[in-house]
Chain A
Amino acid sequence: MFDLFARVFGREDASKEVAKERLRLVLVHDRSSLSPQALESLKNDLLQVISQYLDIDDQGFRVDFSRHEDAMALVANIPIKKKVSRNL
């Protein structure tokens, strides 16, 4: 029963989610061949530039390198804060 319960509500501690998150972080470094410091400053610079225009949630800010066919792409996920005023 617990099994079913867990499945319906989604187990947050499912270890595969932990594995995927850890892989994501490791692969960012492996694929970019940037040092952790360089990557950190890339993130900070990105954050700084974009914050000039938008209100960013820097908790959810993510940078990934993903493979597309034979090229590598820099993919940034930049959540914008809900409270951003809309020009109605």
Chain B
Amino acid sequence: MGEAIVITSGKGGVGKTTTTANIGAALAQAGQRVALIDADIGLRNLDVVMGLENRIVYDLVDVVEGFAKLKHALIKDKRFENLYLLPAAQTRDKTAVSPDQMRALVGEMKQEFDFVLIDCPAGIEQGFKNAVAGSDKAIVVATPEVSSVRDADRIIGLLEAEEKHHPSLIVNRIRPSMVKKGDMMDIDDMIEILAIDLLGVVPDDEFIVVSTNRGEPAVLNQQSKAGEAYRLISRRLLGENVPLMKLEEEGQGLLGRLRKMMGIKG
């Protein structure tokens, strides 16, 4: 029996889909059987981030309505044979499925997979309720900005009211140089405010753009800092006690630091 994890945030555009794709790929890379569900009905995106958009035949709503079998709707990843995607319907809306239907679907998928990762839509309405319904655990993604932390706080409140999902936090798009200058909240600030466990920290990384352009999760690239962060997060999800990623400014080293202190650029 596998574990279902919803990746949520309240606010849109903070990295839920990126996180789902990368943790999914990293877990698959580590040999786990993984299924990703795109629960953002009407605004599907996980398929393009994974580079699987050309293979879609059936979607989540087709399965829930009994129009297609689950095994026919699941799309096998190009790179890992133990990684699958259940795409969202694009021409329907959130009301096309109910929390009960999601619970049944996720329950069925947990029989076959070690991990079922659910990419949650933004908001706290029906789409959120659907995405959360079948999940055992929640990962809350937030960026170090006032609006994102505020929305994360709201989501954590809703999840904790159900006393079921043990939410943990991923801080995404940290920029160490801004943190150092005092122009960005750091991890401690965010943990203090939100009062939840920290699962991981992902730096802001240009490579994420390249990786979405190509439809290849960043964890497949050994050079990507964000990819490295997601690999560490996945190991933590597997129960390994690995430390958080050390985030350093560009141009570190003694010379770089000296230059910085003297205000010399380059």
- Interface residues as binary, B154-173 with A (CB distance below 8 Å gives 1, 0 otherwise): 10110010010000000000
Contact A15 B182 (CB under 8 A): yes
| Across-interface contacts of B189 in A (CB, < 8 A) | 16, 20
- CA of A22 to CA of B150, assembled, Å: 10
Known: A3-B261, A70-B160. A22 touches B195 (CB 8 A): no
Contact A70 B193 (CB under 8 A): no
B220 CB within 8 Å of chain A? no
| Across-interface contacts of B105 in A (CB, < 8 A) | none
| Across-interface contacts of B157 in A (CB, < 8 A) | 30-31, 67
- CA of A31 to CA of B182, assembled, Å: 27
Q: Is the interface of A mostly helix, strand, loop or mixed?
A: helix
Contact B263 A14 (CB under 8 A): no
- Interface residues as binary, A45-88 with B (CB distance below 8 Å gives 1, 0 otherwise): 00000000000000000000011101000000000000000000
- CA of A24 to CA of B163, assembled, Å: 24
| Total interface residues in chain A, CB < 8 Å | 22
Q: Which of A1-44 contact B (CB under 8 A)?
A: 1-4, 11, 14-17, 19-20, 22-24, 26-27, 30-31
Contact B150 A26 (CB under 8 A): yes
- CA of A22 to CA of B185, assembled, Å: 12
Say which residue of A4, A22, A70 sits within 8 Å of B261 (CB atoms).
Answer: A4
| Across-interface contacts of A4 in B (CB, < 8 A) | 261
Say which residue of B145, B150, B181 sits within 8 Å of A27 (CB atoms).
Answer: B150
| Across-interface contacts of B160 in A (CB, < 8 A) | 67, 70
Contact B182 A16 (CB under 8 A): yes
| Across-interface contacts of B260 in A (CB, < 8 A) | 3
Q: Give the interface size bracket for B toward A.
A: 20 to 34
Q: Is the interface of B mostly helix, strand, loop or mixed?
A: helix
Contact A16 B183 (CB under 8 A): yes
Shortest beta-carbon distance from B59 to chain A in Å: 35
| Across-interface contacts of B182 in A (CB, < 8 A) | 11, 14-17
Contact A3 B263 (CB under 8 A): yes
| Across-interface contacts of B145 in A (CB, < 8 A) | 19
- CA of A68 to CA of B192, assembled, Å: 11
B242 CB within 8 Å of chain A? no
Contact A27 B153 (CB under 8 A): yes
Contact A26 B146 (CB under 8 A): yes
- CA of A22 to CA of B263, assembled, Å: 31
- The 10 tightest CB contacts between A and B, nearest first, are A14-B182, A67-B195, A15-B183, A16-B185, A70-B160, A19-B146, A4-B261, A23-B146, A16-B182, A26-B150
For the complex with contacts A15-B182, A16-B185, A19-B146, 16 further pairs of A-B residues with Cβ separation under 8 Å are A1-B263, A3-B181, A3-B260, A11-B182, A14-B182, A16-B182, A19-B145, A20-B185, A23-B150, A27-B150, A30-B154, A67-B160, A67-B195, A68-B195, A70-B160, A70-B163
Q: List chain A positions with a Cβ less than 8 A from chain B.
A: 1-4, 11, 14-17, 19-20, 22-24, 26-27, 30-31, 66-68, 70
Interface pairs (15), CB distance under 8 Å:
A2-B263, A15-B182, A15-B183, A16-B183, A16-B189, A20-B193, A23-B146, A23-B150, A27-B193, A30-B157, A31-B157, A66-B195, A67-B194, A67-B195, A68-B195
